[in-house]
Structure 1
Amino acid sequence: MLDPIGSAGAKLNGVVDETIRWIAQDSADALLGAGVGVAVIAGLQLLLLAVRRLCPADGAGWRGVVRGIADRTLLLFVVAAGLDAATHVALMPGPLLRLVENIFTIALAVQGALWLRALVLFAVQRRIVADNQDSAALGSAVGVITVLVNVVVWLLAGILILDNLGVNVTALVAGLGVGGIAIGLAAQGIFSDLFAALAILFDRPFRVGDTISYGNSVGTVEHIGLKTTRIRAISGEQLVMANTKLLEQQVANLRRIEERRVLFNLRFVYQLHPDVLAALPRELEAIVAAQPDCRFDRAVFTGFGAFSLDFELVFFVTVPDLAAMLAARQAVGFGVIRRMREMGVDFAYPSTTNFTAAPDGRLIDPSAN
């Protein structure tokens, strides 16, 4: 029966015997390797010490990244790096060389996983700090992101270690692939909403507190969760939308409006004199210019309607506040009515006019009888 512990002990004894024999037979080469290894270890330790002194623990930007990497550098990796450096200058026996290579591979895989995890989580934390308004919402996703990062980096590190130790990982990778596909298909809806939530939190199409319009609904975002987003509709009720369904629609973020466009379609009677019609654009522009926070765009004749001469008045309210736009639209509308009354210009409305004609086609004035 195979005894793995006894086999490992025998191999270790063999390595020890070969190492003692090598040191006794070639002490100069062994001393050179030891000196290089100690120098590399001391140099790396001094470098880490200098980094910790130059980069404060609460530093921002690249200083914080460098300090985080230094704090997460293991002594095991430093020692393994020194041993690996010694193998390049000293001709070690085969068993000892393989042992050093295995130690360095394991240390490098573990250290790389720690560094990669630190970099990813630092990027997430930096995004949280960059926007205080969404820190609570982003914080709800940090736990999930941490779990995903841990699973990925440690799984890769484990496969790398096993592969370098001579273990056939082909079947393991294939099994993980099949298992991942099965889990993905079983939890497709959950993962879809999860990644949609991460897209909302990091891509920032809207934030908590923004007023958005989607589909036929308008409301204020109250909470962005990992599966759903809760929105307070303008009619008062709370709407709960799956993140995936929400992103499938066209979303308009009303909070990010810089200025608001106002359009008036004006209809005047056909009886107006052409000179009066030509003066209307200037009059309408003057009405808009008299209002604060309003920028005139155009006032143009747009066509001959079924019962009216049609004009289009367009202007912008240069402040994003909805109340300011409503007030400006009302003021301009009242100004148009007042000025048209002063000019004797009548607005058109749907109507029908009957004319009486003689047999020869001449119009007859009914009031003449």
Structure 2
Amino acid sequence: MTKPTAEPGPVLPEPLSAAEVEQKLNGLWAWISAHSVEIAIAAGVGTAIYLALAFLQRHARIYAERQDDRLSVAAIVARTLSKTKQYFLIMVSARLVVGFSEAPAGIVQVVSFLFTVASVFQVAIWAREIILGMIERRATVSDDAGSETLANAMSLIRLLVTVVLFAIASIMVLDNLGVNVTGLIAGLGIGGIAIGLAAQGIFSDLFAALSIIFDKPFKRGETIGFDTTTATVEKIGLKSARLRSVTGEEIIISNTNLLSKQIINYTRLNRRRTRYMIGLVYQTPPDRARLVPAMLREIVEQGSGVFVRCGFVGFGASSIDFELDFDVMSSDFEVVFEARHRIGLSILERFNAEGLEFAYPTQTSFTAAPDGRFVLPYPEGGYSLAAEDHR
């Protein structure tokens, strides 16, 4: 049975001897002596390129600082370019002129490698600024609570975006160095899955908070309804939202749980509809009942409401029923409540003045003698139970 052979490790280069070091230095000096003019020109051109790029970087920073709307696309691009690092400008300049001076292969390799490293990390910085800028732009809100929530969330988002982008950049650099990054990528993937499972509740509420910021189903100060609860939003946090119910209690509910419900936003209504069910006694004359819709229209319009409809809807157990719909042209619940109060009392006052009686549950009992004839009270005509039995 053969034993498995161990995989060979990376072969380290042997250290240079003194003679080899001296030989390389002599070769470098010979290159400098033979191409001094080209090197000087390359250095001058590289310096000019660096100064031009630095000027553009400074101009982008000034432009970004002078923008009134810091979340416009132009401001985000300018702010991104202003984050360009000096080492990247230096390596861009060196990479552009290194071939002009006919540099040795070793120097070209070093410059190319450093340029690759600088470019990878600079692109990661640019990508981070663009991503964060577009997130802020998409989540722009006008209320302080939304801005506070976004500010709290952005610190965590910045950390997550930075870790992800620079991890990718580091893997790319290691791959350029010839390191086998397959195991590293697998390890990072497994670690990410483990962290995600352990903190799925936290991330779920965080993403729910971001959904509220981005989609804006409601904002601070707006009145919403969910399940059987009606409350005013006081604060939107990273994990939970705080609301004040109409009866005064503070309601704390997780963002995930809140978004999983059907939410009614009452504040964004430009009008609110109210419906009154009005029952009149059966003794109401039909000609008087026909006047009820016009009478209610007049009451609603005098009470600053918008009449929608009114009419007879059915025969109740103890009443003839009318239905009244009207709108109050306001999104403020207090204004709507006051209008409903005013119109309701006006209906009561007008019906009393017109002699229209509101119905309430009633039951009439008739008493019969042993022979089947009614005794007082009894209906007119001397109705008899016995006569009913013989029909």
TM-score of the aligned structures, taking structure 2 as reference length? 0.77
SS in 1 for 2:290: helix
Contact 2:271/2:327, CA 8 A, preserved across alignment:
yes
Are residues 48 and 183 of structure 1, via their aligned partners in 2, closer, same or farther at CA, if it must alter by over 3 Å?
A: closer
Are residues 320 and 130 of structure 1, via their aligned partners in 2, closer, same or farther at CA, if it must alter by over 3 Å?
A: closer
Match of 1:196 in 2: 208
Greater CA drift, 63-72 or 315-324: 63-72
Match of 1:40 in 2: 49
Greater CA drift, 95-104 or 20-29: 20-29
Q: C-alpha distance in 1, partners of 2:105/2:114? A: 14
Are residues 211 and 141 of structure 1, via their aligned partners in 2, closer, same or farther at CA, if it must alter by over 3 Å?
A: same
Q: C-alpha distance in 2, partners of 1:88/1:268? A: 100
Greater CA drift, 86-95 or 40-49: 86-95
Are residues 197 and 6 of structure 1, via their aligned partners in 2, closer, same or farther at CA, if it must alter by over 3 Å?
A: farther
Contact 1:18/1:96, CA 8 A, preserved across alignment:
no
Match of 2:387 in 1: none
Aligned match of 1:367 in 376, 380, 383? Answer: 380
**Which runs of 5 or more residues in structure 2 are unaligned?**
1-9, 373-377, 383-391
Structure 1 position 138 matched with structure 2 position 150: yes
Q: C-alpha distance in 1, partners of 2:32/2:113? A: 21
**Amino acid across the alignment from 1:309:** I
Shift of 1:193: 1.8
Shift of 1:93: 4.5
**Amino acid across the alignment from 1:79:** I
Q: CA RMSD in A?
A: 3.7
Match of 1:245 in 2: 257
Aligned match of 2:172 in 160, 163, 185? Answer: 160
**Amino acid across the alignment from 1:115:** W
Contact 2:64/2:76, CA 8 A, preserved across alignment:
no
Structure 1 position 221 matched with structure 2 position 230: no
Q: C-alpha distance in 1, partners of 2:170/2:97? A: 26
Q: C-alpha distance in 1, partners of 2:119/2:214? A: 31
Aligned match of 1:259 in 264, 267, 271? Answer: 271
Shift of 1:263: 0.6
SS in 2 for 1:327: helix
Residue pairs, 1:18-57, within 5 angstroms:
34=43, 36-56=45-65
Structure 1 position 148 matched with structure 2 position 157: no
Q: C-alpha distance in 2, partners of 1:97/1:330? A: 86
Q: C-alpha distance in 2, partners of 1:150/1:74? A: 16
Identity of aligned residues (%): 38
Shift of 1:21: 5.5
Q: C-alpha distance in 2, partners of 1:297/1:13? A: 100
Q: C-alpha distance in 2, partners of 1:218/1:81? A: 60
Match of 1:319 in 2: 330
Match of 1:362 in 2: none
**Amino acid across the alignment from 2:299:** I
Deviations 1:15-64 (A, max 9, x none): 87776555556667666655653443232123224334545366533454
Contact 1:18/1:93, CA 8 A, preserved across alignment:
no
Shift of 1:121: 3.6
**Amino acid across the alignment from 2:226:** Y
Higher helix share: 1
Contact 2:300/2:343, CA 8 A, preserved across alignment:
yes
Q: C-alpha distance in 2, partners of 1:107/1:299? A: 76
Residue pairs, 1:163-182, within 5 angstroms:
163-182=175-194
Q: C-alpha distance in 2, partners of 1:20/1:317? A: 91
SS in 1 for 2:291: helix
Q: C-alpha distance in 2, partners of 1:14/1:366? A: 134
**Amino acid across the alignment from 1:276:** R
Q: C-alpha distance in 2, partners of 1:14/1:239? A: 80
Q: C-alpha distance in 1, partners of 2:218/2:160? A: 24
Q: C-alpha distance in 2, partners of 1:157/1:190? A: 27
Contact 2:77/2:130, CA 8 A, preserved across alignment:
no
Are residues 260 and 106 of structure 1, via their aligned partners in 2, closer, same or farther at CA, if it must alter by over 3 Å?
A: same
Match of 1:104 in 2: 115
Q: C-alpha distance in 1, partners of 2:104/2:45? A: 17
Deviations 1:213-247 (A, max 9, x none): 32233333343332223334444443332222222
Contact 1:44/1:78, CA 8 A, preserved across alignment:
yes
Aligned match of 1:74 in 85, 90, 93? Answer: 85
**Amino acid across the alignment from 1:367:** E
Q: C-alpha distance in 1, partners of 2:60/2:69? A: 14
Are residues 6 and 114 of structure 1, via their aligned partners in 2, closer, same or farther at CA, if it must alter by over 3 Å?
A: farther
Shift of 1:104: 1.4
Shift of 1:81: 1.4
Match of 2:131 in 1: 120
Question: Which of 1 and 2 has greater Rg?
Answer: 2
**Which runs of 5 or more residues in structure 1 are unaligned?**
360-364
SS in 2 for 1:367: coil
SS in 1 for 2:238: coil
Number of residues of Structure 1 aligned to a counterpart in Structure 2: 360
Deviations 1:180-215 (A, max 9, x none): 111111222222122222223343333344433322
